[in-house]
Amino acid sequence: MTKERIYLFDTTLRDGQQTPGIDFSVEDKIAIAAMLDEFGMDYVEGGYPGANPTDTEFFKRKRTEKSSFVAFGMTKRAGVSASNDPGLNALLAADSDAVCLVAKSWDYHVAVALGCSNEENLESIRASVEAVVASGREAMVDCEHFFDGYKANPAYAIACATTALEAGARWVVLCDTNGGTQPPEIRDIVSAVIASGAPGANLGIHAHNDTGQAVANSLAAVEAGVRQIQGTLNGIGERCGNANLVTLVATLALKDTYSSRFETAIDADRLQELTGLAHSFDELLNRSPDPQAPYVGASAFATKAGIHASALLKDPKTYEHVAPESVGNLRKVMVSDQGGKANFINALKRRGIAVSKDDPRLDKLIAIVKEREATGYAYEGADASFTLLASRILGTVPDFFHVESFRVMVERRFDANGRLKTVSEAVVRVIVDGETMMSVAEGHGPVNALDLALRKDLGKYQSEIADLELADYKVRILNGGTEAVTRVLIESTDRTGARWWTVGVSDNIIDASFQALMDSIVYKLLKNRDQVGLIAAE
């Protein structure tokens, strides 16, 4: 039996950015786009070029290699030709593979929000899609408020969809913008749209989670015939969020009711990276992953009940709906650590590190990682620190330099003009090839001063780190009180455009920062020698 293809459309960088408290920088967007591209999403929607400086800068060049890179914007305004509409022209000028146009499909919104006639709105849809197709890009249309619009005026909602398809749109996406439609309604309305003549192979679903059913609504739409699903990583989005693509990817792949009939771009090997993707994204957002998230949560395959634990030890299938290893997660109650070993071996393989499951050094690495993560380290969000740790345990890392000591001082004082100022100064003693060098630097805060002093004089390695830059610095307090344990996550980059993340944990924020800074520099020196991942793991 030939399986039908379900296409995965990620809108984390556009709709997900509507989440309260989330504001992606250009660097954040570049990093997230790379994560999504590497994982294998069919479409990565980058944002709204022309609407703000961040998205305009982001779209100056294509940000994915394999995934279709999508620009989002509105159809042209009524009364203005497509060629003279500045918003549409900004979309067409963006470096993207596809353009997703949002269109009104509820006649109430057409009258109130657009202030034009129903026919003028249809013309705007038609002309905008034709302009995208003429530009050589794949065209798709998000029919905003489609399900509410269908309930109010079925004929007009369907006319909006069919107009887009007739104009050449590859996809027409039916949006539950308010998130209040229920799964049976989704199924019935999608079925009606297909019965009207719109091919399911050209239809998608975009569900919001306002009643907690965005995933269920997306699956109901698939059952009814749509073949594209839009959603976000970990279900982020405005209000209650969007359909969680992490949950949907796993469900489509692992539940026979779907996997027997459908396939996605995510194969079994990629699926094992799902937990890492979900957790890495949360770390980038500087928030703790949800321990009870389906499939990928730390508690997703954990049990405390004695009878459950006993049954799990006999046969994991007694209390697990899927094998945790299939999504890169871990079982908390295990006969052995073989499942854990499989995850570590896969994680090392992705970094170019080959190691046998019987190698005793692997057991040592697993023990150290688990011990450190118990104290607050999070290696899923700090790829470079994990690679260095693995390199040190499984092979060797050159002893480029040794920091003998450092001192950081913060002084709050009045300057000669009577203005209150705070001055940070750091002193670092570094040994390179037996020679001791002392560097002093002032910075904007103690961490910046320490970074500048540490990188001020590394002897023969100094020229190698001239292009090293700290792109981001995140701090998370892991417990309460003045003696709180602090985790510091640092993002670094260099002139090649490569980005890497390092982590430090301590009850002293300066010490935690120093650990992450040291890992960043050592990783850079290894990278310069193309030694990252090249380990003697016999």
Per-residue confidence (pLDDT) for residue 347, from 0 to 100? 77
Per-position DSSP letters for 279-325, written without gaps between them: HHHHHHTTS---TT-TTTSTTTT----HHHHHHHHH-GGGT-SS-GG
Per-residue confidence (pLDDT) for residue 482, from 0 to 100? 58
**Are the folds of 356-391+467-537 and 401-457 the same?**
yes
Tokens 């899609």 label which residue? 129
User: Do the beta carbons of residue 282 and residue 487 sit within 8 Å?
Assistant: no
117-128, pLDDT tens digit by residue?
A: 999 999 999 999
User: For residue 483, how many other CB atoms are within 10 A of its CB?
Assistant: 8
Per-residue confidence (pLDDT) for residue 535, from 0 to 100? 38
Exposure b/e, 400-424, CB count within 10 A at least 16 = b: bbeeeebebeeeeeeeeeeeeeeeb
Per-residue confidence (pLDDT) for residue 368, from 0 to 100? 92
Q: What residues contact residue 313 under an 8 Å CB cut-off, 6+ apart? A: 333, 335
- Please write down the long-range contacts of 189-194, taking CB distance under 8 Å and 24 or more positions apart: 189/147, 189/150, 189/151, 190/220, 190/221, 190/224, 190/225, 190/226, 191/224, 191/225, 192/150, 192/154, 192/158, 193/150, 193/158, 193/161, 194/224, 194/225
Low-confidence ranges of the chain (pLDDT < 50): 305-310, 312, 333-339, 533-538
Secondary structure, 3-state, 236-248: CCCCCCECEHHHH
Q: Distances from the Cα of 68 to the Cαs of 52, 495, 506, in angstroms?
A: 22, 26, 42
The CATH number of the structural domain formed by 356-391+467-537 is 3.30.160.340
At the top level of CATH, the class of 401-457 is alpha beta
Q: What residues contact residue 184 under an 8 Å CB cut-off, 6+ apart? A: 220
Per-residue confidence (pLDDT) for residue 507, from 0 to 100? 92
144-170, pLDDT tens digit by residue?
A: 999 999 999 999 999 999 999 999 999
**Cα(125)–Cα(99) distance, integer angstroms:** 13
**Cα(479)–Cα(283) distance, integer angstroms:** 17
Per-residue confidence (pLDDT) for residue 271, from 0 to 100? 97
Taking alpha carbons only, the member of 456, 450, 469 closest to residue 510 is 450
**Integer-rounded Cα radius of gyration of the chain:** 26
Q: Three-state SS for 76?
A: coil
Cα-based angle 129, 122, 222 (whole degrees, multiple of 5)? 70
DSSP label of 3 = P
Rounded to 5 degrees, φ, ψ at 290 are -70, 115
**Cα(3)–Cα(434) distance, integer angstroms:** 65
Tokens 């796993």 label which residue? 250
Per-position DSSP letters for 451-490, written without gaps between them: HHHHTT--GGGGGGGTT-EEEEEEEEE-S-STT--EEEEE
DSSP H helical segments within 13-152, as ranges?
Answer: 26-39, 53-58, 86-93, 107-109, 118-134, 146-152
Side-chain half-sphere CA neighbours of 311 within 13 A = 11
Per-position DSSP letters for 274-288, written without gaps between them: HHHHHHHHHHHTTS-
Residue 213, Cα to own-chain centre: how many angstroms?
Answer: 22
Q: Distances from the Cα of 364 to the Cαs of 58, 157, 367, 371, 381, in angstroms?
A: 42, 61, 5, 11, 21
The pTM assigned to this predicted structure is 0.80
**Cα(17)–Cα(1) distance, integer angstroms:** 40
**How many angstroms separate the most distant Cα atoms in the chain?**
82
- Residues 4-266: name the CATH superfamily: Aldolase class I (3.20.20.70)
Per-residue confidence (pLDDT) for residue 315, from 0 to 100? 58
Per-residue confidence (pLDDT) for residue 336, from 0 to 100? 37
187-231, pLDDT tens digit by residue?
A: 999 999 999 999 999 999 999 999 999 999 999 999 999 999 999
**Cα(456)–Cα(465) distance, integer angstroms:** 10
Domain ranges of the chain: 4-266, 356-391+467-537, 401-457
Q: What residues contact residue 437 under an 8 Å CB cut-off, 6+ apart? A: 429, 430, 431, 457, 458, 459
